[in-house]
Amino acid sequence: MPESSRPGPGERAGSLVDVEVDEVPAPAPTSISPGLGLSYIAIALILCGLNLRTVYSSFSAVLTEVTAATGMSQLAVLLMTTVPVTCLGIFAPFAPRLARRYGAERTLLGAMVILTLGLAARGLGGLPAMFAGALAAGAAIAVVNVLLPSLVKRDFAHRLGLMSGLYTMSICAAAALGAGFTHPLFAVTGSWQFALGFWAIPAVIATIVWAPVALRQRHVPPATAAAGPSVWRSVTAWQITIFMVLQAMMSFSVFAWLAPILRSRGTDGGTAGLMVAVSIVLQMGGSLLGPALAVKLRRQSTLNAAAALMTGLGFALSIFGPLQGIWLWTCLLGLGQGALTALALTSIILRTRDSHTAAHLSGMMQCVGYGVGSVGTLMVGQLHEATGGFVAAGVMFLLIGSGAAVFGWLSGRPRFVEDDHLAA
């Protein structure tokens, strides 16, 4: 790969692209004062990141208790596990428009308020409140998902490697916290409502910490630069996007279904939550190792395919592999999934020549990847309802992992999205 296409020194490949790249004039950095220094902003952004996955992993940790207490139907369970993921694809395209109109900082604050209310609503009990809370939380996370990387890239250009690593780890930590602590909270209080509603507390803290930064910003809506060639017409962009879709189908199924899968195999709720948390923590290692290897290679095909197969196999073995090796299977899944997710995101940078194309490819991947990827959680639930177990889902993950390996192989070839337009 030409050196000009590689990430600069100290920059972690694939983690950050700027959704404000089309704005003219370019947005000014977030205002700071002696009382609110850059380190304060860094802490506030990391705290926001720590709330981006608890809505997914916390519900699955007490799914058995919630369904037993409420008589929740299988359809309701499918909606509760699928809707928040689907929202990531539906609402992500609105984030740049809201940022241009109100400013990225204030848009992020509004999204964090909505996320807090959504998480709190899940703790009220009753299906309407829980569904409304899941919908609000999913929509808010979609917006934050888009804006946080942009703010980090804009305000921490001199520390991209450090901040992108901390940002990625905070998201993994959020999923691990939701998986590992929700069932113990239920065990201590005897209330699944409290166990779910508790996750509004860290969201409140992050919102309060970010509010002084957001409210002091002065924003003038910018014009929009002319768009370049459409990534939606690029074969390479579609290969990367399908790679993202297939990894998302497995990634969010981990959050929604791994704990119930483990419990169906006889694991108690606390241990199942711990196993999911450890698996997610191991994703951090995979997410650091994958891109570090990818940027040193001209062709990432083998690496992408290996991570995809490792993830699919780890998921399948967690479902029907020998029970004596269950910790090994979930750890294999965690390492593979972390590398797979990071490699899919790394493809944004490695397969584009400029920041404009990278930003638009990122938007395409989030819209299609998360929107279609949510079908994975839905299919697991439907297969479970149809067969009364998770074995069929295990076969499905083997197929998805194989498909991800194919498109990962294609995505890893040394070609660029922009080249498709030149060849057309």
**pTM, whole model, 2 decimals?**
0.79
Amino acid present at 106 = R
Least confident interval from 66-80, 178-192, 395-409? 66-80
Question: pLDDT at position 27, please?
Answer: 61
Average pLDDT on 183-197 reads 94
Decide if 14-226 and 229-424 have a common fold.
yes
Domain ranges within the chain, ordered by starting residue: 14-226, 229-424
Question: pLDDT at position 363, please?
Answer: 79
How high is the mean pLDDT of the chain? 85
Q: How confident is the model at residue 138 (pLDDT cuts 50, 70, 90)?
A: very high
Question: pLDDT at position 5, please?
Answer: 39
Q: How confident is the model at residue 10 (pLDDT cuts 50, 70, 90)?
A: very low
Q: How confident is the model at residue 172 (pLDDT cuts 50, 70, 90)?
A: confident
Judged against a pLDDT cut of 80, whether residue 312 lies above it is answered with yes
The fourth-level CATH superfamily of domain 14-226 is MFS general substrate transporter like domains (1.20.1250.20)
Q: Does domain 229-424 have CATH number 1.20.1250.20?
A: yes
Angle, CA 297 vertex, CA 296 and CA 300 arms, to 5°: 130
Q: What percent of the chain has pLDDT over 90?
A: 44
C-beta of residue 148 within 8 angstroms of C-beta of residue 167? yes
Average pLDDT on 74-102 reads 85
Q: How confident is the model at residue 72 (pLDDT cuts 50, 70, 90)?
A: confident
